[in-house]
Amino acid sequence: MGEFQDPSRWIRRFHPAADSGVRLVCLPHAGGSAPFYFPMSRALSPEVDVVSVQYPGRQDRRMDPAIEDIGEYADAIAAEIKPWLDRPVALFGHSMGAVLAFEVTRRLERDLGFVPLAVFASGRRAPSRYRDENVHRRDDDGVVEEMRLLSGTDAQILGDEEILRMVLPAIRSDYTAIENYRAAPGLTVSAPITVLTGDNDPRTSLEEAEAWRGHTTGAFDLHVFSGGHFFLANHQDEILKIVSEALSTSLPGLPGGSASIA
C-alpha cells in the first residue's frame, strides 16, 4: 500500500516511523484528545509507528460536529485508519478508547478480514458489563465533578471558565456515547486482548476487567496496577514494557522497549 501521505483530520502522527515494522493506533478517553499519547509515541519511536486518533469537537477540531454514538464513532475511525493498514497494527485505548478499540477491531475483522496484532484495553470494564451511569445528563458542575473524581484533568483547566465552556460539549457528547453503549456478552474479536486496570478505579472493578476475557477468541492477559482510573500516570514504564513485549512477541524482529513514556 505504501506510505500514506494525505493527512486526515482524525489522525495525528507525532513521531513518524516510516521504516517501522508495526503500527500502534491509540484512542483517547472520553473528553480526551490525540496529544494524550504524545509521550507514548515519543518513547516507542522509531521501533513502533504510533498514530493517535483526534476525535471531533475538541482542539483543532472544535468546530467539527461531535459524535454521540459508539457505533458511529467506530465506523468513522475504522474508515479513517484503512490507509494505515499497510503493516501489522495493534490498537491501544483508554477508558472510552478501550471500547472504541474493541469496536474498531470488530469492524476491521468483519469488513476487511484484518486481524490486529493486539487490542490493549486500559481503564475500562468489559463491553458486556453495564452500569447505569448518567454523567451526560448532569449539569456542567456535575460533569466537572466527575472529571475531578477520575483525576483526569489538570486543575488549572478546571479553573478556567472559558476553556471549560469550550471542552464541556465534547466531554458531554463522549459521555453520551459511552454511557448509552451496549454490547452482547457473546460479542468477540479474534485479536488477542490485553487488559490494563487500576485496583482502585471507581468505574471498573477487577471482575469487570476480567470479563474482557469473554470478548476474544484469542489470547487474553490482565495486568492490575495500583491506582485509580488514570493509573497510567504512575506506571508509565511498566505499561510501555507490556506494549513493547506484546508487539515483539508478535513480531520477533521488534526489540522489547524499556524507554519511559514520561
Give catalytic residue positions.
95
Q: SS3 for 160-202, per residue? A: CHHHHHHHHHHHHHHHHHHHCCCCCCCCCECCCEEEEEECCCC
Estimate to the nearest angstrom the gap between the alpha carbon of 15 and the chain centroid.
Answer: 18
- Contact present, 195 and 222 (Cβ < 8 Å): yes
- Contact present, 117 and 90 (Cβ < 8 Å): yes
d(CA 69, CA 100): 11
d(CA 103, CA 213): 15
Sign of dihedral through CA atoms 167, 28, 178, 231? negative
Angle, vertex CA 248, rays to CA 48 and CA 80, nearest 5: 40
